[in-house]
Chain A
């Protein structure tokens, strides 16, 4: 418990008669990345809002940096930084002025402030646009400025609500790099995302939030172990071939629509060779052959019975 940066037990939150969070337990060790994963409307932002003192919980206890968010909001606020889902930058101010605003509002001495602003502009590659109003920034630049503003007071616990949603793959990688640097500095990160790959890449611990409940929690690898293992997918040209193959591989599952067969296997070269030999033996030829290791998308499907996409619709 001593090492917990964030400890949540039995957190409940309702809006009217709509139960958004229905008894959530979380524990985030200091210096690690915790990722809360869930589709649109799962309650990620609501969780972040409660954990960052912006909303009152209807039940349960939340301790952040050792302080109770309900009774010691000030102490909590002094130890956290928050980058919300929607960029919270001042559009009419320039990048530099935005950072200066954060300095002016925090108990930083003026001399240090100037240095901090310069350093952050450099670190986030915003020097060139520092004198331009934030309204002229691209989405990626705005996100970077937003995060830079969060870092002004050097918070030890940082909340990032969907930090890479809407970013192109390159900006996403830049953002991941920045997050990894923060972790290397010993900062605790609480990150929400809809991208399973992101959680896989960054998180030490992942919790899957679905309809107000945590439906699974663990390391990315532990979660992947929860679902059917590695398999080989064979796609055939005709239904007749699929039938024949299904008779040969008795432990397989078939997908008639795609004319495909899923054959369990561990993905090693020996098992693949054996499988190919068997195909040869029965004079079967697959149109397509691919090895699948489960990713968190599969985990999500298995745990919630729906894919992230389906819920997003």
Chain B
């Protein structure tokens, strides 16, 4: 039992190395995951920033929101990667070699999480250059990192499930699009109060809003524990759904 666990763990590491190589060798996924959020940051700050009155410096408002967007932009790559593994013959090779499904899928989730962290570090770097001025303490920063990791982990499992459920790599890429769009309908770019009635209700109750508000609070040095609890609850829920869905879909796909 114990050696079995060890084996799964090291297989997951091998898979993580493999997936990381995939990501760095695929220019589209690097672009989507790392550069796209930065482009969007530049776009909103320079083109639209003056149009929104959010009460604080726009860059201080939007950066926490874009952190979440950056997590989401990395996801479509993961969905495509998972699906390619399933639709190409290689998965049968892994199965015959007794590589556990846990290892294959965990490899994808962790690789996607690492991509997220790289993208977020790059985004924060650029934002700081543009005048982003967070007043977070070291502890708050740890909170931000924790939140990002939790979100990346949850969204990662959900994406893996989407990738598994899709018929082809193309549809897998499409399946992740709603996740990429969702931040735009949250308080990421503008406060929910500034939206129309219907959209506003949606924005207030969708999972990304409390997650963003938590990060915003942390970066402003004034975290709101109410938001944080809701955010963590959403992440745990999403992770659980994604995990269970992934495993059951993986089993069904021969």
Contact = CB atoms under 8 A, between A and B. Distances in A.
Interface string A71-110: 0001001101110111111111100010001101110000
A92 B22 contact: yes
Interface in B95-121: 95-99
A106 B7 CA distance: 10
B21, B22, B26, B93: most-surrounded residue (chain A CB, <10 A): B93
B17, B26, B98, B99: most-surrounded residue (chain A CB, <10 A): B98
Contacts, number: 56
Interface string A46-59: 00010011110000
A53 B94 CA distance: 12
A85 B93 CA distance: 12
B98 A54 contact: no
Given A54-B254, A105-B11, A97 B21 contact: yes
B5 interface: no
A256 B62 CA distance: 86
Contact of A77 (B21, B89, B97): B97
Given A82-B92, A84-B93, A149-B93, A133 B25 contact: yes
Interface string A117-148: 00000000000000001000000000000000
Contacts of A81: 96
Looking at chain B's contact residues, is the secondary structure mostly helix, strand, loop, or mixed? helix
Contacts of B96: 52-54, 77, 80-82
A88 B92 contact: yes
B14 interface: yes
A84 B21 contact: no
Contacts of B88: 86, 88, 91
Nearest to A149: B93
B167 interface: no
B251 to A, nearest CB: 12
A89 B90 contact: yes
A105 B254 contact: no
Nearest to B7: A107
Interface in B161-217: none
A89 B88 CA distance: 9
Nearest to A102: B97
Interface of A: 49, 52-55, 74, 77-78, 80-82, 84-93, 97, 101-102, 104-106, 133, 149, 153
Q: Which 8 A-B pairs have the closest CB atoms?
A: A88-B89, A104-B14, A88-B93, A86-B89, A88-B90, A84-B89, A82-B96, A92-B22
